[in-house]
Every structure is written in structure tokens, then in C-alpha cells.
Amino acid sequence: MWNSGLQKSQWSIQFWFQTNYPSGDLKEFTRSSRARRRYWARSYAGWRRFTAAQPGPAHTALASLEKAGRINFMITQNVDRLHHRAGSDPLELHGTVYTVMCLECGFSFPRDLFQDQLKAINPKWAEAIESIDHGDPGSEKSFGMKQRPDGDIEIDEKFWEEGFHIPVCEKCKGVLKPDVIFFGDNIPKERATQAMEVAKQSDAFLVLGSSLMTMSAFRLCRAAHEAGAMTAIVNIGETRADDIVPLKINARVGEILHRVLDVGSLSVPAL
């Protein structure tokens, strides 16, 4: 039997929760002002809805297990800080959209302040957001913005192409980007080193809700396995580590974690 209720093990949790928040390509973002306008226009338009999201069953279950001492360390690829809202304090492997940073000097500050700056220099966009919130989507007043079923926002290209302005760094006038890892970007060395050390020192390593298709996540799972940690995956569908991890549970993360909370442990037949 393999038991996930080991009280004395150090659990390193890598947890992925897919969101519809727009990411991007680092090279395109840094080289193209058009790409930056497109990104920040969509981000600005969807920010209020994005920040209104609440933790789900998996977030709350993890926070409860952490509070009970069943989890000693958590690593997340999420950038939405829903784990924090649930009461956890994970290592954010891929950063967070709640911070904005300068690509030139490294200065960083809260996203809410950046949102205020965007609003101040784009007053018509602020009015457009209000028109969406008051049930008038798709009109000229709303710049043709339409909310899609997945929560993202469609914006007519003609509106952000020329009429949307982006603040620059107040320290050096450099380019600002969300403090998240874009495609082609590198995880800061200190953060990557900390995550790898935790993985290698863990007695047990549990992957939750991730396909591990990003190398940054897969490397941690592989390192934990090679270091002798008990490794397991809870995920619906195939993952990159299926061939190396001895235990795979094909189920929803929230359902499994709440069973652990209710019963105290989860025993499954060894494979």
C-alpha cells in the first residue's frame, strides 16, 4: 500500500491550476511595442474580473493540509495568487501577475498601482470597462470589447493599435512587464535553486493537477524521484512524468484532497 498520510514526511507540493490569463512570448514582448499594447490592453480590460476570482476546492484543501502540518512546502506554477487567498504561502515558480517589473533596471511595484497608472493615461478605456460592467458590451463606447465564454475579453484591434498608452518605469523610463515567466524567459536563479533544493531534499513529492509539460516543473519531479523521494501524481490525463512516477491517480485534485482531509489519509494499491 502507498499511503499519502505520512505525518513525518516533508511534502513538496507542485500544483498547477490552469487559468485563462494571457501570457506571451518574451522576445515579441520586448521587441514589439504593438505586442505590449495588445498584452496590456487585454490585461487592463480583464483585471477586475481576474482579481475577483476565488479559491477553489483544491486551493482550500491544500491550505488546510498545510495548516495541519501535512504539507511542509508548496511550489506553484500559478501566477494568480489564489493559493494566498486560501491561506497558503507557496513558492511562486513562475512569478505573479500581481507585481510589475522593469526589464531595464529591475524596479518592481504592485500591479494595482500600475492599473491606476493605466487608468489615468487611458481615461476612455476606463469608461469602456465601466460600460462592460454595466451590461453594454460590444458597443462603440466599450471599444468593441466582448467577454468570451472562457472569461477572456475580445478587443477590436483598431482600438488598442493606436489609442492605448502604456506607462514606462518611473526610475529609468524602461519597459514594464508583469513579473511572470513568459515563453522564452528564464526563472530567476535564486528561485529555481530553492525549488530544486526542496525537491531533492523531500521525502515525498506530490504533483497535483499538472501535465508537467513545462521543463521547469518536470525537472523538479524528476529530481525528487532520482533523489529517492516517494513521488505521485494526481491529474486527469497524461503527464510528462508518467513513465518515471510509480503512482498516478487519474482524478480531480479537489476531490482527492478533500478525501484526505475527511479520512486523514488516502491508501491506494501499490502499482
Which residues carry out catalysis? Answer: 94
DSSP-derived secondary structure for 86-104: HT---EETTEEEEEEEETT
Cβ-Cβ contacts under 8 Å for 190 (sequence gap 6 or more): none
Separation between Cα atoms, residue 83 and residue 60, nearest integer Å: 8
Beta bridge partners of 247: 232
SS3 38: helix
The DSSP call for residue 214 is: S
SS3 9: coil
Separation between Cα atoms, residue 102 and residue 100, nearest integer Å: 7
Cβ proximity of 99 and 109 under 8 Å = yes
Q: Known binder of ligand: residue 221?
A: no
Q: Known binder of ligand: residue 169?
A: yes
SS3 232: strand
Separation between Cα atoms, residue 264 and residue 271, nearest integer Å: 22
Cβ proximity of 205 and 196 under 8 Å = no
Pairing of strands 153-154, 146-147: antiparallel
Annotated binding site for Zn(2+): 102, 105, 169, 172
Annotated binding site: 102, 105, 169, 172
